Structure 1
Amino acid sequence: MRRTVVIPVILHTLVAVAALLWLLWYFIPTGNVFNGLTTLLILLLAGWYVFKNCRREQPVSDTTVSTADLPLSDTQGPVVLVCGDRLDALFQGSSLRKTAQGWWLRVDDVSRITDVVRSIQMQFPRQAGQLSMMYRCLPDYHQDEAVLRSTLKTLRQQSKQIKSLMGFTLPVLLSVEFSGPETPWIIVRGDKPIVCPVNDSPQAFIDWQQADDNIVALPAINQAFSFIRNTLTDELEKPDRLMPPEHAFSVAMRLGAVSPETQSVWSAWLYSRTCLLFSRESAQPLHTGLFPDAVLPLLAPFASTLQGGQRTRRLVVLIWLCVLTALGMSALNNRDLIRHVSANLQRWNAIPMNHYRPKAESLAALKQDALLLERWQRQGEPLRYSLGYYPGQRLWLALQQAIDTWTPPPAPELKPVPKIVRLDSMSLFDSGKSALKDGSTKILVNALVGIKARPGWLIVVSGHTDNTGSVRLNQTLSLQRAEAVRNWMRDTGDVPESCFAVQGYGDSRPIASNDTPDGRARNRRVEISLVPQADACRLPGTKPASQEKRDVSTQEMEK
């Protein structure tokens, strides 16, 4: 095989292997062992394919036509492969006839057409789309109809093999010449015959038969058409389980071009139906218009150079299949990701809040999923998810909302815990402000009667807002309002600052829905609570934290 053929084979194989490995390693969710074994199998098959194609030798020397010396690389028109009867007289010692509208290439043996097409495809792959076949039939030289039909059956076999080789069917022409009154070429394409006189413009058959004495030839012409229809096209279009029917692209027919044999299928056909009999002495062979050149313009729209050949078309189809499969696998991978996260969320919601151990296990699974999605947000999601609708952002938000609802179990030694005092922010502050209103002192005094500084207890002041406005501004405003309440308690009660812890949560911990005005009003609050903490708020001369806890417990029980 030539170098110009070996290099494309290797390049096409490399691209195909790359497409398959890209699909295997990035989209198909299988283990590394399976992927490794499949990769090895793909490489072995690719090597075998390259070796087989590089070792293939075409039987060019065995064919009657050597295509190595044909100037087909710059051919633009149709290239007709001619086979059939008496080709020596047709080509007159040559194997190629070039015209302004196309080429006629001689192929003597019908059974070798596939070899010639394969040779042309290997040496001139772009010109393979310009090929067509023509079978020349001279019924006057056939004494047995069965032999003639077997030749047509061989033509059908060759057409089937060519379709398997190239991926499409070549147009098949029938050129039939009968003995009889001399007529020009009659070209039949579809159901309208056209007469093509030599050195004259084509005309409709109905117009031609009315001119001069042409009507005399009508009986022989009608029988010739009947013979073609009932013998030649009947054999080509016969239904067969092994071979598909072959419909002739066009039929070229003329009379008076051959010297008849004494006994032939044509003479027997004509005599049995019309009692006409043409003698050898009355028939004069024609030496002009040997080829039906009028069919070349009909073939021109169907003859075009191929872009890349059959191997490239197969590669393009393989790449498209890999891309479509990758899109489908990406959608399936995203679906599996959604199902996995949804299952963990359903398990979380199904476990009661007071079942702390299974709730903690479910929380660990949620945090693991959230960390994975967060890493993909920073580094980019894997390729196996990127071709479909990747739902990572929505899943991450759902996981975070579930994680934020987790309340750790209280420690036994911290019970009982005083109730949280909630103050309406709008009663203490103006909208968007962090300075206490005038007259808010009475509200603070009435609400904070039970909040006193005690050793071992930390006064936690936390500010909250609704979701109106930006997250950063809400965070800052909630912290400033908590600090304002802390400062008032510190200055009014002369409490050391070490007894306080100030927190600003913004809108991250709502106690009601922010979709209604009432819910937003409940979320705008300042919460004050006592949290046990060892050695917190130790004042000179105060009791230890354990004694203070017992005092608080006693007071709660009395209440």
Structure 2
Amino acid sequence: MRRTVIIPVVLHALVAVAALLWLLWYFIPTGNVFKGLATLLILLLAGWTVFKNCRSEEPTSDVTLPAAELPLPDTQGPVVLVCGDMLEVLFHGSPLRKTAQGWWLQVGDISRLTDVVRSIQTQFPRQVGQLSMMYRCLPDHHQDEAVLRSTLKTLRQQSNQIKSLTGFTLPLVVSTEFSGPETPWIIVRGDKPIVCPVNDSPQTFIDWQQADDNILALPAVSQAFSYIRNTLTDELEKPDRLTPPVRAFSVTMRLGVGSPEIRSVWSDWLCSRTCLHFSREPAQPLHTGLFPDAVLPLLAPFASTVQGGQRTRRLVLLMWLCALTALGISALNNRDLIRHVSASLQRWNAIPMNHYRPKAESLAALKQDALQLERWQRQGEPLRYSLGYYPGQRLWLALQQAIDTWTPPPAPEPKPLPKIVRLDSMSLFDSGKSALKDGSTKILVNALVGIKAKPGWLIVVSGHTDNTGSVQLNQTLSLQRAEAVRNWMRDTGDVPESCFAVQGYGDSRPIASNDTPDGRAHNRRVEISLVPQADACRLPGAKHASQDVRDVSTKEMEK
């Protein structure tokens, strides 16, 4: 394999892979697993394409035209590949005819067109864009219309193969010459025929037919046009499942050339429609105007040197497609970003302000979106958004305005701490005794004004002593004193016993030092407090705590 073949193929493949991976990894919003599999597939296809192209670069045909038969590399005009009938009369033994406006190159057999183009592409690749084709048809020399149509099918096949080889369709000129009254070249490009007399300026067909005796040739000229339309262009342009149709770039025609045969497709056509029949006497040979040179200026705008080969053009097309696709995907990504932020804002606006929990969840989503947009403003937006109209600044402002309207819920009122009443044991009991003194009732009544039984609260009565005496004795004494206070509250206030909890701690929970008389006096105490506890203190006809909680929850939901 030649090195000059491998290097361009590999470079083109690398650029194509880079363009596809750039599009895949930076713009297509898919997962990394899919991107990894797609990358592997792209690399495999690139390797297979390199191998295939390197194999296809090897010469597959033995047809190689000598350099003398090819146009010079500095040729600027169109190069017309001529094939068809009796080309020896045109070229007079020389395969190349040069004019001031272009070149005529003899190909001969139609089946050689693709090989000639391949040879030119190999030796002069830049001149492929200057190539055109001309099919010369002499209906007077064809006795069988089916054979003529078969030749036109071959021309269609060659045109299709050349398109696959070069990447574009070469312009096709159909040149016909008929026996009959002598006329100059008539060139049809579009709908208006142009008559091109030799050594004279072109003129319209209407002006030409009104001059001298040219009107006498109109029946034959009209039938010649009809024959071209119904036979030649019809065969080239008719739909075919195997071979794409070929539309002629232009049609050139003239009459009065050649010797008519006794029976030919042209004579049969003309006689069956007009009853005209021309003599078989050979016409005077024409030494000028053998080629329709007037068609070369029409081909000139379509003939230009090619910048790079077919592979380069395909690579440029792929890069353009990747750029356009990236632009479209970037616009779609920006549209999805706008929809996402809009949905978050709509959810925020739909939630009432007094529904604090869902409002806080929506606020967290808004803050997350705003934080992401703010980070993109500092660091630059991702490439997948950059090619489209990126609305980050506008969306960030809308999010900030929504966030600024947030009003936090009012702080809940602090729950009142359980009220603790401390009673001096020496004011209620005699030393070492657990029976209430006679004068203790007034002290208990004044101290226990704020202690009231209510559903869901437990009245805890706890007794405490100093560290004088044994631990067991102090524990028993503290419990008995707490029970004495409990019994008084139960009997005096008609409170059910289920509302009470009695505890005796002895000297285990001092509130002052037992080393001093004053500290021991503080430690000898009875404490009464209210503690929340479900299902505690069930008063007759009162709801318990759990029911209160359900009622409160129901009211909150109704709000």
TM-score range, shorter chain: 0.5 to 0.7
> Which residue pairs with 2:275 in the alignment?
274
Deviation at 1:275, TM superposition (A): 4.8
> Which residue pairs with 2:43 in the alignment?
43
The alignment partner of 2:318 has SS state of helix
> Which residue pairs with 1:34 in the alignment?
34
1:348 & 1:200 partners in 2: Cα distance?
A: 84
> Which residue pairs with 1:380 in the alignment?
380
Aligned residues: 414
Deviation at 1:39, TM superposition (A): 1.1
Deviation at 1:56, TM superposition (A): 0.9
Confirm whether residue 257 of structure 1 aligns to residue 262 of structure 2.
no
Q: Is the 8 A contact 2:149 2:235 kept in 1?
A: yes
Deviation at 1:190, TM superposition (A): 4.1
1:81 & 1:18 partners in 2: Cα distance?
A: 39
1:109 & 1:72 partners in 2: Cα distance?
A: 23
Q: Structure 1 residues 117 and 354, CA, compared in 2 at 3 Å: closer, same or farther?
A: same
Deviation at 1:343, TM superposition (A): 5.4
1:89 & 1:376 partners in 2: Cα distance?
A: 76
> Which residue pairs with 1:296 in the alignment?
296
Q: Is the 8 A contact 2:345 2:402 kept in 1?
A: no
User: Which is worse superposed, 317-326 or 41-50?
Assistant: 317-326
Q: Is the 8 A contact 1:177 1:254 kept in 2?
A: yes
> Which residue pairs with 2:155 in the alignment?
155
Per-residue displacement from partner, 1:337-382 (whole Å, max 9, x unpaired)? 45555555666674876866x7766665555444434433332222
> Which residue pairs with 2:53 in the alignment?
53
TM-score when normalising by structure 2? 0.62
> Which residue pairs with 2:114 in the alignment?
114
Q: Structure 1 residues 61 and 95, CA, compared in 2 at 3 Å: closer, same or farther?
A: farther
The alignment partner of 1:107 has SS state of strand
Q: Is the 8 A contact 1:187 1:196 kept in 2?
A: yes
Q: After TM superposition, list the pairs within 5 Å mapping 1:107-506 onto structure 2.
A: 107-121=107-121, 123-180=123-180, 182-204=182-204, 220-240=220-240, 242-243=242-243, 245-272=245-272, 273-279=274-280, 281-308=281-308, 310-341=310-341, 350=351, 367-396=367-396, 398=399, 402=403, 405-406=407-408, 412=414
Q: Is the 8 A contact 2:345 2:366 kept in 1?
A: yes
1:127 & 1:59 partners in 2: Cα distance?
A: 19
2:218 & 2:368 partners in 1: Cα distance?
A: 92
Amino acid at match of 1:143: Q
> Which residue pairs with 1:96 in the alignment?
96
> Which residue pairs with 2:22 in the alignment?
22
Amino acid at match of 2:77: G
Structure 2 alignment gaps of length 5 or more: 419-559
1:343 & 1:212 partners in 2: Cα distance?
A: 83
Q: Structure 1 residues 201 and 359, CA, compared in 2 at 3 Å: closer, same or farther?
A: closer
Q: Is the 8 A contact 1:96 1:105 kept in 2?
A: yes
The alignment partner of 2:50 has SS state of helix
Q: Is the 8 A contact 1:67 1:116 kept in 2?
A: no
2:215 & 2:343 partners in 1: Cα distance?
A: 89
1:107 & 1:122 partners in 2: Cα distance?
A: 17
> Which residue pairs with 2:483 in the alignment?
none
Per-residue displacement from partner, 1:507-556 (whole Å, max 9, x unpaired)? xxxxxxxxxxxxxxxxxxxxxxxxxxxxxxxxxxxxxxxxxxxxxxxxxx
Deviation at 1:17, TM superposition (A): 2.0
1:203 & 1:389 partners in 2: Cα distance?
A: 56
Per-residue displacement from partner, 1:440-465 (whole Å, max 9, x unpaired)? xxxxxxxxxxxxxxxxxxxxxxxxxx
Alignment RMSD: 3.9
TM-score when normalising by structure 1? 0.62
Deviation at 1:142, TM superposition (A): 1.4
Confirm whether residue 87 of structure 1 aligns to residue 119 of structure 2.
no
The alignment partner of 1:30 has SS state of coil
1:339 & 1:210 partners in 2: Cα distance?
A: 72
1:207 & 1:330 partners in 2: Cα distance?
A: 59
Q: Is the 8 A contact 2:81 2:131 kept in 1?
A: yes
Q: Is the 8 A contact 1:73 1:124 kept in 2?
A: yes
Per-residue displacement from partner, 1:282-324 (whole Å, max 9, x unpaired)? 4444444322222212222332334445444443443333333
Q: Structure 1 residues 126 and 225, CA, compared in 2 at 3 Å: closer, same or farther?
A: same
Q: Is the 8 A contact 1:64 1:108 kept in 2?
A: no
Per-residue displacement from partner, 1:122-147 (whole Å, max 9, x unpaired)? 55444333222111112222121110
Structure 1 alignment gaps of length 5 or more: 417-559
Identity %: 80
